[in-house]
């Protein structure tokens, strides 16, 4: 393949752009939405560079459709803020959004070519035996764990989420670009729980060691300890249709087993999540 294609799988589609414009028009008179809308308008509008803000907006709109007016930039640990705070069924929630854009390694693994019939092709190959180890599913898994965890620490101190105080804490991860198409449920479990959380045939290794996850005790990257101690759920979001009601269907949650006594407690907590039906991958025990 020829040289790398930047943001090929992370491009802004017409469907996403049109849906965001519809949401902006509908929320223009909602006071709570004003800072989110201003953030998009003041930074170039509906453009690829604003995909993180548009991810936030679609979630906020999903809450709005459930009759919830969320607090944007809710107070967090120290001087930090958390993207959204709200209550549902008498239960408080704090939610931080994490958008996993394409990594440089993934861009380098994406190229274009023209075949003998003159057809233009763009492809991505993530292989365990790639010349650059980062251009692999293993490399992408490690990077995803690192990017999620680092949200929870800044300058050596806890960041974003406070010590649990009765509110449930969730991180919603935009997983659309992982492995070019959002991967599968085994990829999401691996990122959250590590190799120990998946069947043997799905386990990934780096330097001959099992790759651990966000909630794994063995994970030592920056912010991992805080994520284990303070985040109740990871929600992996893979939107594709961009229409009302999709956010719930496009999200798979993985519970932090260290913060719940058993599966029943995790399911009871998830029942207070406003976007139902909520798909909890683990927590059945």
C-alpha to C-alpha distance for 84 and 72, rounded to whole angstroms? 5
pLDDT tens across 63-118, in order?
999 999 999 999 999 999 999 999 999 999 999 999 986 444 434 433 334 445 54
Total domains, the chain: 1
Whether residue 240 is contained in a domain is answered as yes
Examine residue 19 and state whether it is found in any structural domain, yes or no: no
pLDDT at 11: 81
Residue 50 in any domain: the answer is no
On whether residue 89 sits in a domain, the answer given is yes
Q: What is the pLDDT of residues 7-63, one digit of tens each?
A: 444 689 999 999 999 999 999 999 999 999 999 999 999 999 999 999 999 999 999
Q: What pLDDT score was predicted for residue 133?
A: 54
Q: Is residue 63 part of a domain?
A: no
Which string of DSSP letters, residue by residue, matches the chain? --SB-TTSTT---HHHHHHHHHHHHHHTT-GGGHHHHHHHHTTTSSSGGGHHHHHHHHHHHHHHHTT--PEEEEE-STT-EEEEEEEETTEEEEEEEEE-PPPHHHHHTEEEEE-TT--EEEEE---TT-SSTTSSHHHHHHHHHHHHHGGGEETTEE-SSPSPSSSEEEEEEE-TTGGGTT--HHHHHHHHH-GGGS-GGG--EETTEEPP-TT-TT--STTHHHHHHH--EEEEE---S-STTHHHHTEEEEE-GGG-SSHHHHHHHHTT-SSSS-EESS---
Q: Is the pLDDT of residue 120 over 50?
A: no
Query: Domain range holding 80?
Result: 69-103+133-280
Give the model's pLDDT for residue 285. Answer: 59
Residue 160, pLDDT score: 97
Identify which has the larger pLDDT, 127 or 251. 251
- pLDDT, position 101: 67
Q: Omega into 277 within 30° of 0, i.e. cis?
A: yes
pLDDT digits (tens, 9 = 90+) for 243-278: 999 999 999 999 999 999 999 999 999 999 999 999
Q: What is the pLDDT of residue 283?
A: 79
- For residues 118 and 197, the model is more confident at 197
Per-residue pLDDT, 112: 38
Task: Evaluate whether residue 59 is within a structural domain.
Answer: no
pLDDT at 179: 78
């Amino acid at each position: 393949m020829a040289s790398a294609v930047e943001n090929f799988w992370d491009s802004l589609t017409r469907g996403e752009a049109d849906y965001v414009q519809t949401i902006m028009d509908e929320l223009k008179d909602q006071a709570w939405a004003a800072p989110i809308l201003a953030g998009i308008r003041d930074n170039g509008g509906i453009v690829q560079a604003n995909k993180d803000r548009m991810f936030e907006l679609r979630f906020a709109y999903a809450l709005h459709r459930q009759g919830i007016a969320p607090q944007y930039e809710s107070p967090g640990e120290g001087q930090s803020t958390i993207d959204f705070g709200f209550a549902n069924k008498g239960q408080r929630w704090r939610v931080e959004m994490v958008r996993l854009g394409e990594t440089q390694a993934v861009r380098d693994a994406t190229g274009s070519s023209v075949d003998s019939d003159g057809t233009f092709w763009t492809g991505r190959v993530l292989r365990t035996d790639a010349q650059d180890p980062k251009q692999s599913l293993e490399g992408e898994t490690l990077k995803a764990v690192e990017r999620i965890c680092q949200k929870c620490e800044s300058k050596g101190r806890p960041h974003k989420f406070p010590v649990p105080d009765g509110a449930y804490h969730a991180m919603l991860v935009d997983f659309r670009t992982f492995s070019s198409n959002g991967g599968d449920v085994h990829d999401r479990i691996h990122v959250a729980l590590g190799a120990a959380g998946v069947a043997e045939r799905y386990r990934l290794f780096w330097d001959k060691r099992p790759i651990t996850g966000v909630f794994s005790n063995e994970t030592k990257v920056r912010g991992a300890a805080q994520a284990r101690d303070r985040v109740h759920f990871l929600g992996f979001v893979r939107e594709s249709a961009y229409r009302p009601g999709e956010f719930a269907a496009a999200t798979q949650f993985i519970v932090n087993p260290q913060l719940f006594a058993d599966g029943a407690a995790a399911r009871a907590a998830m029942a207070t999540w406003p976007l139902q039906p909520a798909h909890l991958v683990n927590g059945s025990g």
